[in-house]
Amino acid sequence: MKTTSDLLKKKKNGEKIAMLTAYDYPTAKMATENGIDVLLVGDSLGMVVLGYESTVPVTLDDMIHHGKAVRRGSGHTFMVVDMPFGTYHGNPDRTLEDAVRLFRETGADALKLEGAGIVTDAIRRLVSAGIPVVAHLGLLPQSAGVTGGYKVQGKTAEDALRLVREAKEVQEAGACMLVLECIPHQLAGRITEELSIPVIGIGAGAETDGQVLVFHDMIGYGSHYVPKFVRQFADAGKPIREGIAAYSEAVGDGSFPAEAHRFTMKEEEAGKLYG
Ligand code: KIV
Ligand code: NA
């Protein structure tokens, strides 16, 4: 799976697309080897990997750093990288410069941008420069400060119809895929029907063409807040905590390292250590 047309084919055949975030080489490799169709180097890395309280502090250099690591483990899996906060609302030339740098240096297959309106212009510009773009509507974490936190979007018919219009707008602008975050399932279903590009949901019900989750949420790794819409498919935190505790205990009581873990020099050489 490598191109946007492969993903389009999945939508046409009614096959669901499994997308997962990854921020490093081993995760990318495991995801690719276990059925993931699309990897997302999300700016959620700000929270789950870097320990920030939001995605706002994440920089272009952060995204490049992690994007390159994921690319080295991703093989031919389709890889999307987020444009971080503040890189696509200002000067259009600067937006293109940042996008080109992110796209080129990470080897991404597409970049993802949150929002429509002024962002639709940025989508059009990137696409015309040869950069595939994934759009992102509904809950927009980079704008949570303005919208008043992480809340379900499109609950009234008026808001929902605005989102339908925005979805059509970003498709029209050339987006190759759309992520819908935290909206009612009926609205996600309506948008998925309406659009010809694949629509991927997170907290958007089962009627979309695919799903995306944040890796750390999905495997129970970390100490950050996990949203209601996440299903924890594993509890990786438990064996990790137990492993760390067992290690520190074994170092403390001297049971590690054992004979099996050590290197030995010949007695004849060891004898000379004492003159
Ligand atoms: O950064 C991220 O992980 C995302 C997903 C929640 C879609 O944008
Ligand atoms: Na993101």
Share of residues in the chain with pLDDT > 70 (%): 100
Distance from Cα 180 to the centre of ligand 1, integer Å: 10
Number of compact structural domains in the chain: 2
Structure confidence at residue 225 (pLDDT) = 82
- What's the full length of the chain, in residues? 275
* Span 148-181, pLDDT tens digits: 889 999 999 999 999 999 999 999 999 999 999 9
- Are 255 and 193 contained in the same domain? no
Residue nearest to atom 4 of ligand 1 (CA): 42
Share of residues in the chain with pLDDT > 90 (%): 95
* Span 79-126, pLDDT tens digits: 999 999 999 999 999 999 999 999 999 999 999 999 999 999 999 999
Distance from Cα 253 to the centre of ligand 2, integer Å: 45
Q: What CATH number is attached to the domain comprising 88?
A: 3.20.20.60
ipTM over 0.90: yes
Q: Minimal CA–CA distance to 153: which of 168, 138, 137, 135?
A: 138
Structure confidence at residue 1 (pLDDT) = 54
- Are 203 and 247 contained in the same domain? no
Task: Please state, rounded to an integer, the average pLDDT across all residues of the chain.
Answer: 96
Encoding tokens for residue 237?
């935190």
78 strand-pairing partners: 38
CA-CA distance, 40 to 35, in Å (whole number)? 14
Average pLDDT over residues 127-133: 98
- Are 136 and 263 contained in the same domain? no
**Helix runs in the chain, H state only:** 4-12, 25-32, 45-48, 60-74, 92-106, 118-128, 144-147, 157-172, 185-194, 215-219, 237-253, 267-271
Encoding tokens for residue 78?
């389709």
Distance from Cα 58 to the centre of ligand 2, integer Å: 10
- Are 137 and 231 contained in the same domain? yes
Structure confidence at residue 153 (pLDDT) = 96
- Are 112 and 26 contained in the same domain? yes
CA-CA distance, 40 to 27, in Å (whole number)? 11
Average pLDDT over residues 18-37: 98
Q: Which DSSP string corresponds to 85-126?
A: TTSSSS-HHHHHHHHHHHHHHHT-SEEEEE-STHHHHHHHHH
- Are 120 and 154 contained in the same domain? yes
| Model confidence at 250: pLDDT above 70 | yes
CB 125 within 8 A of CB 158: no
- Are 150 and 170 contained in the same domain? yes
* Span 173-227, pLDDT tens digits: 999 999 999 999 999 999 999 999 999 999 999 999 999 999 999 999 987 788 8
Instruction: Answer yes or no: is the C-beta of 212 below 6 A from any ligand 1 atom.
Output: yes
| Model confidence at 139: pLDDT above 60 | yes
- Are 204 and 259 contained in the same domain? no
Closest ligand (CA of 142): 2
**Residue 126 identity (one-letter amino acid):** L
- Expressed as residue numbers, the domain containing 246 is 239-274
- Are 161 and 255 contained in the same domain? no
The atom number, within ligand 1, closest to the CA of 21 reads 3
CB 121 within 8 A of CB 144: no
The CA–CA distances, whole Å, from 125 to 5, 13, 91 equal: 21, 30, 12
Closest ligand (CA of 179): 1
- Are 17 and 112 contained in the same domain? yes
Distance of CA 84 to the CA centre of its chain: 12
Structure confidence at residue 275 (pLDDT) = 76
